[in-house]
Amino acid sequence: MRTAQQILADSAVIAVVGASRDPFKAAHGVPLQMQQYGWRIIPVNPTVDELFGERAYRTLADIPHPVDLVDVFRPAADAVQVVRDAAAIGAPAVWLQLGIVSAEARRIAEGAGMDYVEDRCLIVERAAANLTRLP
């Protein structure tokens, strides 16, 4: 299993389940900051058409191209299904944001051979490793 920082270093396209249009929520600010450092952010939110200048999708299954990482901004109870959906699309890694923990989601991810991170923040890990995808 790769470390959180290795997952970020290896990922170019991040699908963000629960991405928010509310600029005061972490589910908006975190993906926006990752985008500003060069990651392609694909928002997954059934209530919006576009976020961060990218088309938003209702579900992970609706995304027409591969993603490197599925980032989850949903309650732990919802994370289980999100991890199942991530496995179904062949995502190599799933990341539950700070404060989200699920033993069942972890079991599903590990059973599917996916790298798994929980209760950690993308931007904190990005900053700690001084990672960027900008040239």
Model pLDDT, residue 50: 97
The whole-model pTM stands at: 0.97
Give per-residue pLDDT as tens, 26-83: 999 999 999 999 999 999 999 999 999 999 999 999 999 999 999 999 999 999 999 9
Residue 1's pLDDT band, with cuts at 50, 70 and 90, is: confident
Cα–Cα distance, 38 to 98 (Å, whole number): 21
CATH architecture, domain defined by 4-129: 3-Layer(aba) Sandwich (3.40)
Q: Where are the domains of the chain?
A: 4-129
What's the CA gap between 14 and 2, in Å, rounded? Answer: 16
